[in-house]
């Protein structure tokens, strides 16, 4: 979870010769910011650590302003005699004041916008730990995400210095914390039952599969396991439902992610420090994602995943009814059925009798031992036939 100066590049090595009004090196001030950030990030509930970080950020902003590197748009309140300018948003008006700064942050000239964003993200984490998540916090997370991830094409066009991986990973960690808290998967309110989790609706609010491992390092240790299970389940669902899911690259990614999610799910089930209702919510989300993707994995991983779903790990096994229920289209259900048949064999008509009810109006036809089953769709009458029937 440690910070490196590379996360807050500013002018790089060229700041060695820049100093503040008192003659202090900007490199020294930048190092003070990164060290204070590391401390408050690991201990977000300790206000004195956060205050130290805020003081270090403000001092660096003052030095940059003294060197005439801060544009007017980044000054929230002009200074007066005996009172320095204000560069950091007031926590009481955070959303409103961040909106005034978002274009300055997105432009990121000299990477100073990144300095402002580090303050915003650290403040979000500091506020969420003791207070939980409110609707305004979720909206602010969304607004900050538009800047950090450069979703807006105009912001991308104005951006002069790409944001560091460290900033993006910290934002993703706070974003996940907000989403998980809003859904009741983490938080201090143990009486509030978790909301129903639907991976398809969460995909845009959590890190992509390739970032999960890196982001985990920025999540508080007590939340790392829930974060991994939560994020991997969402990412696996997204990949498994993508049109390119049958490409060799996607199938390999699905197999690797599925294998990791099985391990995370086992750990969640065994972690008695996670309240029962939250463990159930997490494992339901994870197992639904595994059911949606088991037939897309390589043979070894798919058998291991199926065994996990059907074993009595926890209080109940994941039924075939729930497996089919996790899928939204009959083509995917057919692939699941053929996976079950290929690895179970037995009398094909028993499979037809047992599973055809999951296909609605479509019927199943056994083709061969090699091909398994095919769908037989009801033939719709032509317009002429429809008119003829209605006239009788």
> What gap in Å lies between CA 122 and CA 3, rounded to an integer?
13
H-helix or E-strand spanning residue 364: strand 363-368
Reduced to 3 states (helix: H, G, I; strand: E, B; else coil), residue 146 is: helix
Average pLDDT score over residue span 156-182: 91
**Beta carbons within 8 Å of 293's beta carbon, 6+ residues apart:** 236, 237, 239, 240, 254, 258
Phi, psi of 372 (to 5 degrees): 80, -130
Burial of 6 (0-12, 13-18, 19+ CB in 10 A): exposed
Whole-number pLDDT of residue 1: 46
Token pair for 116: 């402002």
> What gap in Å lies between CA 115 and CA 117, rounded to an integer?
5
223 lies in the same domain as 302: yes
What are the b/e assignments for 187-203, b being 16+ CB within 10 Å?
Answer: beeeeeebeebebeebe
- β-sheet bridge partners, residue 365: 374
Boundary of a domain, candidates 284, 305, 328:
328
230 lies in the same domain as 313: yes
**pTM attached to this predicted model:** 0.84
Half-sphere exposure in the Cβ direction for 68 (13 Å, CA): 0
Whole-number pLDDT of residue 18: 85
Determine, yes or no, domain membership for 249. yes
Determine, yes or no, domain membership for 334. no
Computed over every residue of the chain, the mean pLDDT equals: 87
> What gap in Å lies between CA 296 and CA 318, rounded to an integer?
18
Residue 359 pLDDT more than 80?
Answer: yes
Whole-number pLDDT of residue 9: 65
227 lies in the same domain as 176: no
Share of the chain above pLDDT 70, in %: 86
Token pair for 29: 């001030």
150 lies in the same domain as 38: yes
Contact 285/199 with Cβ under 8 angstroms?
yes
> What gap in Å lies between CA 119 and CA 102, rounded to an integer?
13
108 lies in the same domain as 249: no
35 lies in the same domain as 177: yes
H-helix or E-strand spanning residue 331: helix 330-344
312 lies in the same domain as 370: no
Boundary of a domain, candidates 308, 328, 348:
328
Determine, yes or no, domain membership for 59. yes
Task: Output Rg (C-alpha) for the chain, integer angstroms.
Answer: 27
Count the domains in the chain: 3
Token pair for 41: 């990030």
Largest CA distance in the chain: 98
344 lies in the same domain as 197: no
Range of the domain at 119: 1-182
Determine, yes or no, domain membership for 333. no
Q: How confident is the model at residue 44 (pLDDT cuts 50, 70, 90)?
A: very high
Boundary of a domain, candidates 166, 182, 198:
182
Whole-number pLDDT of residue 8: 65
138 lies in the same domain as 7: yes
177 lies in the same domain as 201: no
- Per-residue model confidence as pLDDT tens digits over 69-85: 898 889 999 877 778 88
130 lies in the same domain as 265: no
- Per-residue model confidence as pLDDT tens digits over 289-298: 999 999 999 9
151 lies in the same domain as 14: yes
Reduced to 3 states (helix: H, G, I; strand: E, B; else coil), residue 392 is: coil
Residue 392 pLDDT more than 60?
Answer: no
């Amino acid at each position: 979870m440690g910070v490196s100066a590379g996360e807050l590049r500013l002018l790089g090595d060229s700041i060695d010769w820049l100093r503040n009004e008192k003659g202090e090196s900007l490199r020294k001030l930048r190092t003070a910011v990164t060290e204070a950030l590391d401390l408050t990030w690991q201990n977000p509930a300790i206000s004195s650590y956060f205050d130290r970080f805020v003081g270090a950020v403000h001092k660096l902003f003052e030095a940059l302003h003294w060197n005439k590197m801060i544009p007017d748009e980044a000054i929230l309140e002009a200074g007066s005699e005996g009172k320095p300018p204000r560069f950091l948003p007031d926590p009481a008006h955070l959303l409103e004041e961040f909106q005034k700064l978002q274009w300055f942050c997105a432009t990121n000239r000299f990477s100073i916008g990144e300095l402002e964003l580090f303050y915003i993200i650290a403040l979000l984490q500091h506020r969420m730990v003791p207070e939980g998540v409110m609707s305004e916090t979720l909206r602010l997370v969304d607004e900050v995400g538009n800047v950090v991830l450069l979703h807006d094409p105009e912001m991308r066009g104005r951006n002069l210095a790409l944001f560091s991986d460290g900033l993006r990973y910290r934002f993703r960690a706070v974003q996940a914390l907000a989403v998980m808290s809003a859904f009741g998967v983490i938080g201090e309110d143990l009486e509030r039952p978790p909301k129903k989790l639907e991976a398809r609706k969460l995909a845009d609010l959590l890190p992509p599969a390739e970032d999960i491992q890196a982001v985990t390092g920025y999540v508080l240790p007590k939340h790392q396991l829930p974060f991994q299970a939560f994020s991997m389940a969402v990412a696996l669902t997204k990949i498994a439902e993508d049109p390119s899911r049958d490409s060799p690259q996607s199938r390999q990614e699905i197999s690797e992610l599925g294998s990791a999610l099985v391990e995370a799910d086992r750990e969640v089930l065994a972690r008695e420090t996670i309240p029962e209702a939250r463990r159930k919510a997490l494992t339901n989300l994870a197992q639904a994602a595994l059911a949606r993707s088991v037939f897309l994995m390589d043979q070894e991983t798919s058998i291991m995943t199926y065994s996990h779903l059907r074993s009595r790990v926890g209080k109940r096994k994941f039924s075939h009814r729930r497996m089919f229920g996790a899928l939204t289209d009959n083509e995917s259900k057919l692939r699941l059925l053929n996976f079950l048949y290929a690895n179970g064999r037995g009398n094909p008509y028993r499979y037809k009798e047992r599973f055809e009810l999951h296909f609605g109006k479509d019927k199943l036809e056994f083709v061969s031992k090699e091909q398994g089953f095919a769908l037989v769709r009801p033939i719709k009458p032509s317009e002429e036939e429809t008119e003829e029937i209605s006239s009788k």
